[in-house]
Amino acid sequence: MSLVDKAADKPVPLTGRADTTPDGGEFVDVQTTEPVTDWSDMFRRFNLDPDVFEVVGDTVRMSNWQQSKRTNDGDRDVVNLYSYRALFRRKAAAIDLPALYAEVRRTKVKPGKAAGGSTLVVAWADTQVGKVGLRGDTADLVRRLEQKRVALAAHIKARKLSRFVFVDVGDAIEGFENVASQMFTNDLSLPQQIDLSAVEMWKTLALLANNGRVDAVAIPSNHGAWRSGKQSLGRPSDDWGLAIQARLEYQAGLVGLPVTFHRPGDWDESVALDVRGTKLGVHHGHQSACDQMPKWWAGQQHGAQATADADILLTGHYHHLRVLPTGRSQRTGKSKWWLQAPTLDNGSDWYRNKSGDDSDPGLLVFEINDEGFDLSSLTIL
C-alpha cells in the first residue's frame, strides 16, 4: 500500500466550534458525516442542552464534499462530509413573562392612611432571577415570591401596619458574568431577568403602597454589577439593581404610587435611612467575609461611611439568617444589630456541594418603632 493510500485510509477528524454568548451563539464550520435533520446531537456535541437552545432557521449554511475511503474488502468507497454554520439562541421561557409596563397599567393605587405605631422593614434579598437550582427554575421562583407576598399581606393586616421600608438587599438578578456555568444553567436571558425582577419588585411595592407610605432602598451588589467577565466596569452605581430601581421610581411617579426612593451616591455601595429616629444601614455584604462583617462595619466608622453610625446593619449575599448584637451606639446607648437576611433564590448548589450547608428561603421582616429596633417583631415569612 502506498503512502498516499494510507493517508486516504485515515478518517478525517470532524472539526468545528461553537461560539457561545449568554443568549445563544453560532456553530462555525461544524463537520458531520450525515445531513443534519435534528440539531439535538449538535447541541450535545458542544455540551449544550437542546431543550434550552434552538437553531435560528434562516441562518443555516451548509457545504459538502466527498472523500475516498478504502473498504474492508480492499475496494474504495466515497464518503460524503458536511460542514455547517448556523446561529442559535436560547428558547423563550416556558412561563408567560409579564412586562413591567403592563404590570404598572394594572396597578390600582389606594393608599392606606398613615398611622402611628411601627414601621415594617421588608428585606427583599438575593432573588437572583434567572437562576436554576435545587429549588427549581424561574416558574418556581415566581410561585415562591407570590407566596411571600400573600404571607406579607396577612402579616400587615394582623399587625395593623401602615408605614413601610422596602429594601432590595442586592443580587436581584443572576446575570451571566460571575461563573461560566450561568451561561448553560440560567433559564432567562439578561433582558428577561431585568424585566421579571422589576415586575416582582413592583408587585411588592404596590402591595405595601396600598397599605400606607413606603420608602424603597436599593444598593449595588456583585450579581447586579455591570461586568465584562469577572471584572466590574464603571462606577458602583453602574448596577442592574439600581437601574431597576430607577425605572420603578419613574413608573411610580406616573401612577402616583406613594413611594420615596433611596440609593447610594455614584461612588458608594452602602446607604443609611433614618426610620423613626433609628438609623438603618444597608450593604449587600460582598465586601467582607461573613464572619468578618462586624469588623467591616466597625471599619466604616474610621472612613465616615454611610453605615458608620447606623443602629442596624442589614445585609444579604450570604443566603442565611443571622441576628447578632455587635457594638453599642454612642448616640442612643443601645446595642447595634447586624441582621443578615435569608435568600429568596433557587439555591446555591455549588456551596451546598462544597460545604454541606444549605438554608431555607425566606422573607425577613422586622419593625422599628419610636423606641428603636423591636427585636421581638423579627419574623421570617
Is 147 in contact with 247 (CB distance < 8 Å)?
Answer: no
Domain boundaries, the chain: 3-90, 100-380
Grid cell listed for 277 = 429616629
d(CA 244, CA 274): 23
- List pLDDT tens digits, range 159-206: 999 999 999 999 998 878 676 667 777 888 888 999 999 999 999 999
CB contact set of 10 (below 8 Å; sequence gap of 6+)? none
- Phi, psi (5° rounding) for residue 337? -130, 130
Rg (CA), the chain: 27
Listed in sequence order, the DSSP H helices in 176-239 are 182-185, 190-209
Residue type, 341: A
Q: What percent of the chain has pLDDT over 90?
A: 46
Amino acid at 204: T
What pLDDT score does 340 carry?
95
For residue 294, the number of C-alpha atoms closer than 13 Å in the C-beta half-sphere is 12
List the Cα angle 285/312/247 in 5-degree steps: 60
Q: What secondary structure letter does DSSP report for 136?
A: B
Other CB atoms within 10 A of residue 123 CB:
27
- Say how many Å lie between the first and final Cα of the chain, rounded: 78
pLDDT in tens, 134-169: 888 888 889 999 999 999 999 999 999 999 999 999
Taking the C-alpha atoms of residue 120 and residue 48, their distance in angstroms, rounded to an integer, is 45
Residue 114 to residue 155: CA distance in whole angstroms: 17
| C-alpha span between 52 and 317 (Å, rounded) | 28
In whole angstroms, what is the distance from residue 279 CA to residue 309 CA? 7
Cβ contact 162:258 at 8 Å: no
Whole-angstrom distance, CA of residue 142 vs CA of residue 233 = 30
Distances (CA, A) of 357 to 186, 243, 291: 22, 32, 15
Phi, psi at 5, each rounded to 5°: -65, -45
Angle 142-144-145 from CA coordinates, rounded to 5°? 65
**Predicted local confidence at residue 23, as pLDDT:** 67
Q: Which three cell numbers stand for residue 177?
A: 458574568
How does residue 72 score in pLDDT terms, banded at 50, 70 and 90? low
339 φψ region: left (φ > 0), alpha (ψ -120 to 50), beta (else): beta
Stated pTM of the model: 0.74
User: Could you tell me the fold of the domain covering 100-380?
Assistant: Purple Acid Phosphatase; chain A, domain 2 (3.60.21)
pLDDT over 70 percentage in the chain? 84
Highest mean pLDDT among 22-36, 271-285, 291-305, 356-370: 271-285
Q: How far is CA 89 from CA 17, 54, 232, 246, 334, in A?
A: 16, 6, 26, 29, 56
Query: Above 50 in pLDDT, residue 258?
Result: yes
Residue 9 CA to its chain's centroid (Å): 53
